[in-house]
């Protein structure tokens, strides 16, 4: 029960999966949450099996799933030190594009889902004076034409700062991870520039988590070198 425990939403793919691999290499126990339990189970096996990681089927828009995920972490490993609210997805740009059901799912996942992750995990993270990280975006720091996705990530930026202010006296650290284009299944088509690899974003996460307790890295914004805006 002494090893630190790292919970990741959206762990079945992309940035979440790469961060799980990096965190396991750094000695953390992993709690892997997403809806694709087959992919999560394959990652558990890759990380060395149930002593090292557990898979929890979790739709982040469902409060009961989020509560059960945190409970599973405590039951398996007895503590929770790092929570990475990373699950999310995009939508085609244009306020006449996509469809309203996709919009609704995106807003619920990217904004409400991240808030539910914080709400479910915060009591346990306060106990360990742990760390909450949120995947925001470059798109959460500047508006993109016709992008409701960008608006969801502005909300995540605000959520991270709001949480940091709330946790200020508690020893809990809060970090916004704000990537530009990352080569993951997030995109239907591969980026045309040399995008970031998911491992590049995982490195940023592990940098923030690895600072000493008195250092709170509030934001890391990282773009591919070829990305202009
Ligand atoms: O994408 P992808 P990324 N409940 O598609 C999960 C942000 N971002 O790694 O449930 C639970 O490989 C999904 O799992 P599943 C982006 O906005 C990206 O690039 O099994 N989980 C999968 O594990 C997002 O916040 C770029 O389908 C749900 C994961 O989310 C984060 O990075 C740039 C879920 C998505 O993995 C990770 O995206 C940027 C739900 N309801 C920000 N819905 C970029 N790639 O360029 C989805 O600035 N998931």
Name the DSSP class of 169. T
Give the pLDDT confidence score for residue 189 in this predicted structure: 87
Indicate whether residue 140 lines ligand 1 (CB < 6 A): no
Catalytic: which of 6, 28, 77, 149?
149
- pLDDT tens digits, residue range 153-180? 999 999 999 999 999 999 999 999 999 9
Give the C-alpha separation, 91 to 144, whole Å: 12
Give the C-alpha separation, 207 to 122, whole Å: 21
Confidence bin at 1 (pLDDT 50/70/90): low
Going from the Cα of 196 to the center of ligand 1, the distance in angstroms, rounded, reads 15
28 classed as catalytic: no
Longest dimension (CA), the chain: 52
Indicate whether residue 157 lines ligand 1 (CB < 6 A): no
In this prediction, residues 10-19 reach a mean pLDDT of: 98
Indicate whether residue 61 lines ligand 1 (CB < 6 A): yes
Give the C-alpha separation, 139 to 41, whole Å: 31
- pLDDT tens digits, residue range 144-154? 999 999 999 99
- Average pLDDT over the chain reads 97
Contact 60, 89 (CB under 8 A): no
Residue of higher predicted confidence among 189 and 54:
54
Tell whether the model's pLDDT for residue 205 goes beyond 90.
Answer: yes
Nearest Cα to 40, choosing from 27, 56, 52, 24? 56
Going from the Cα of 9 to the center of ligand 1, the distance in angstroms, rounded, reads 9
Confidence bin at 2 (pLDDT 50/70/90): confident
Q: What percent of the chain has pLDDT over 90?
A: 97
The sheet that has 29-34: what strands, in order across it?
53-57, 29-34, 5-9, 82-85, 131-135, 173-179, 219-222
Indicate whether residue 133 lines ligand 1 (CB < 6 A): no
Going from the Cα of 169 to the center of ligand 1, the distance in angstroms, rounded, reads 31
Indicate whether residue 7 lines ligand 1 (CB < 6 A): no
Residue 67, CA distances (Å) to 40, 115, 208 in order: 18, 12, 26
Sequence-ordered list of residues with C-beta below 8 angstroms from that of 141, at least 6 positions apart, any chain:
154, 157, 178, 221
- pLDDT tens digits, residue range 30-85? 999 999 999 999 999 999 999 999 999 999 999 999 999 999 999 999 999 999 99
Give the C-alpha separation, 7 to 87, whole Å: 12
Indicate whether residue 186 lines ligand 1 (CB < 6 A): yes
Contact 30, 54 (CB under 8 A): yes
Which ligand 1 atom is at minimum distance from the Cα of 36? 20
Contact 194, 225 (CB under 8 A): yes
Tell whether the model's pLDDT for residue 4 goes beyond 80.
Answer: yes
Which ligand 1 atom is at minimum distance from the Cα of 18? 9
Confidence bin at 135 (pLDDT 50/70/90): very high
R_g over Cα of the chain = 16
Instruction: Detail the DSSP E strand segments found in the chain.
Output: 5-9, 29-34, 53-57, 82-85, 131-135, 173-179, 219-222
Domains and CATH numbers, the chain: 5-222 (3.40.50.720)
In this prediction, residues 128-140 reach a mean pLDDT of: 98
Give the C-alpha separation, 68 to 56, whole Å: 8
């Amino acid at each position: 029960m002494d090893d630190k425990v790292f919970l990741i939403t959206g762990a079945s793919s992309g940035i979440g999966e790469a961060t799980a691999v990096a965190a396991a290499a750094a000695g953390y126990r992993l709690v892997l949450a997403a809806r694709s339990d087959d992919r999560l189970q394959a990652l558990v096996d890759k990380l060395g099996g149930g002593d090292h990681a557990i898979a929890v089927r979790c739709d982040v828009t469902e409060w009961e799933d989020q509560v059960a995920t945190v409970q599973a972490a405590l039951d398996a490993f007895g503590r929770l030190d790092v929570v990475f609210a990373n699950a999310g997805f995009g939508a085609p740009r244009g306020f006449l594009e996509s469809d309203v059901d996709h919009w609704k799912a995106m807003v619920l996942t990217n904004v409400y889902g991240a808030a539910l992750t914080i709400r479910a995990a915060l009591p346990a993270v306060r106990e360990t004076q742990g760390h909450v990280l949120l995947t925001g975006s470059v798109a959460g720091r500047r508006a993109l034409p016709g992008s409701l996705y960008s608006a969801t990530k502005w909300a995540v930026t605000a959520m991270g700062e709001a949480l940091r202010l709330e946790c200020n006296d508690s020893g809990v650290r809060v970090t916004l991870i704000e990537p530009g284009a990352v080569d993951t299944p997030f995109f239907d088509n591969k980026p045309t520039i040399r995008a970031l690899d998911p491992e590049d974003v995982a490195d940023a996460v592990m940098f923030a988590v690895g600072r000493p307790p008195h250092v709170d890295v509030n934001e890391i914004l990282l773009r591919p070198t070829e990305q202009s805006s």
